[in-house]
Amino acid sequence: MTYPPVETACRYNWLGTIFYLSYLVFEFPQNLALQRFPVGKWMSLNILIWAVALCSHAACKNFAGLFVVRLILGMCEGSITAGFMIVSLMFYTRKEHTVRVGYWFTAQIVLGFISFGALHTHSKRLEPWQWLMIITGVSTFITALLFFFFFPDSPTNAWFLNEDERIKAVQRIKDNQTGIENKYFKKEQMIEALTDPKTWLFALFAIFDNIPNSLTNQIQIIVSSFGFTPFQTTLLGCVGGVVEIVTIFTGVKIASRFQNGRAWVAIAYLVPNVLAAILVNVLPWHDKVGLLFSFGLAGVGTTGFVLALVWVSQTTAGHTKRVTTNAIMLSAYCIGNAAGPFMWQAKYKPRNRIPWIIIAICNVLCMVLLFAIRVLLAFENKRRDAEPPDSTYEEVYVVRINDDGTREEVKVSKVFVHCLLASTITNLRGLMN
């Protein structure tokens, strides 16, 4: 069935929106599950379902079928970013965490190259886009198996570490002051997260930063309108991926080298997005080179969101509070992504001036919010530093009976106690199962 152009555009926008609406609905339940169940195993289950949904795209014949599989993808996506954030902070120091998040975020931006390769496939029964879904689905299925058997749930039960290394792995990140993990939901920490001003400032940032993210789905339509072939359009789309990889890599590296520099680096990387929106609106429509350059420039600001993800994880202590804060921020991320596609309306084509103005405004608001968060956290740090240190449970001892019968008090490291308890709980679960 062939739909009118306006209805087709509307359906296309809805396929982008339903993913994030589903993501939004399942985000908090997914975060609760990440706390309740082993992180690696829960993520592997979601990746497995994701793989099946990807392959199912190739069998879809209508809008309803695509709508359903996109909904399933959104449901599973809720566990991925949150799970990576939780595990990354378990294994790495703050400086290392900043860089590692950048690494796994850039790994998401290789689909453009796979898409270009899929366009070269020729088959009587399947279109290139169907091959793309099958290829990515099969590779995702393999990833799910690797996650299930090899991805660690925490340093306390990582299969590639012995007991001594597990203790050292926990000891080395104690300065993060964010804890490892806790399988018990603490209501007081959830309330603390809900009443913390920075939680909602980060949420507002996530909304405004991701409204422009709808450009990802629109850019190929805009570029193809310049007269490029599907091959050329897809290849030009890879340029945006390269820009994001380079800028995220450099951004996290710079931020990790300067203490408390995340806000300033993120703000600096958002400036090109504002410049890109201005250039698209003022350059003549026949200046294809200048417009393509502007489209590429619009991908630089992705670094800002990556650094915000790192920042919110590193400034939130307590496992339940961190899970709640992550859920709120990623829910806000979904709201921005769900709303964004609807600013691309037929009446604004071909220049799309209104959407680009909205993109510029959103990026300016993001810079203001990052500065406000920076000021708030600086104030909180000064207030905390002025308080007397809490030495509760710093001095923990056990009585040891020596060979000669004498008793001796031995100081016990809290890290050792934590690892011992975690190992005991894991063994007990194994016996119960």
Amino acid 395: pLDDT = 63
Asked if the model's pLDDT at residue 11 lies above 90, the reply is no
Mean pLDDT of 262-291: 92
Amino acid 78: pLDDT = 85
Q: Residues 79, 34: contact at Cβ < 8 Å? A: yes
Q: What is the pLDDT of residues 122-178, one digit of tens each?
A: 777 888 888 888 998 999 999 999 999 998 888 888 888 888 888 888 777 776 555
- In this prediction, residue 264 has a pLDDT band, given cuts at 50, 70 and 90, of very high
* CA distance to 69, 149, 234, per residue, from 66 (Å): 5, 31, 21
The per-residue pLDDT of the chain, averaged, comes to 82
Residue 73 CB partners (closer than 8 Å, separation 6+)? 19, 22, 50, 53, 54
Burial of 15 (0-12, 13-18, 19+ CB in 10 A): middle
Distance CA 247, CA 102 (A): 10
Distance CA 101, CA 306 (A): 7
φ/ψ of residue 196, rounded to 5: -85, 120
Mean pLDDT of 365-384: 92
- In this prediction, residue 202 has a pLDDT band, given cuts at 50, 70 and 90, of very high
Asked if the model's pLDDT at residue 3 lies above 50, the reply is no
Asked if the model's pLDDT at residue 272 lies above 80, the reply is yes
Mean pLDDT of 50-69: 92
Amino acid 1: pLDDT = 36
Amino acid 260: pLDDT = 80
Sequence-ordered alpha helix ranges (H) in 119-214: 128-150, 163-171, 187-194, 197-210
Q: What is the pLDDT of residues 337-370, one digit of tens each?
A: 888 888 888 888 888 899 999 999 999 999 999 9
Using the Cα atoms of residue 98, residue 382, residue 194 and residue 91 in order, give the sign of their dihedral.
Answer: positive
Mean pLDDT of 282-286: 88
Helix (H, G, I), strand (E, B) or coil at 278: helix
- Note the Cα 266 to chain centre separation in Å: 16
φ/ψ of residue 344, rounded to 5: -90, 85
- In this prediction, residue 181 has a pLDDT band, given cuts at 50, 70 and 90, of low
Distance CA 92, CA 170 (A): 9
Tokens describing residue 378: 């600086």
Q: Residues 382, 260: contact at Cβ < 8 Å? A: no
Tokens describing residue 420: 């011992």
Higher-pLDDT residue of 207 and 168 is: 207
pLDDT over 90, % of the chain: 29
Asked if the model's pLDDT at residue 419 lies above 80, the reply is no
* CA distance to 18, 57, 133, 143, 144, per residue, from 50 (Å): 15, 11, 11, 11, 9
pLDDT over 70, % of the chain: 85
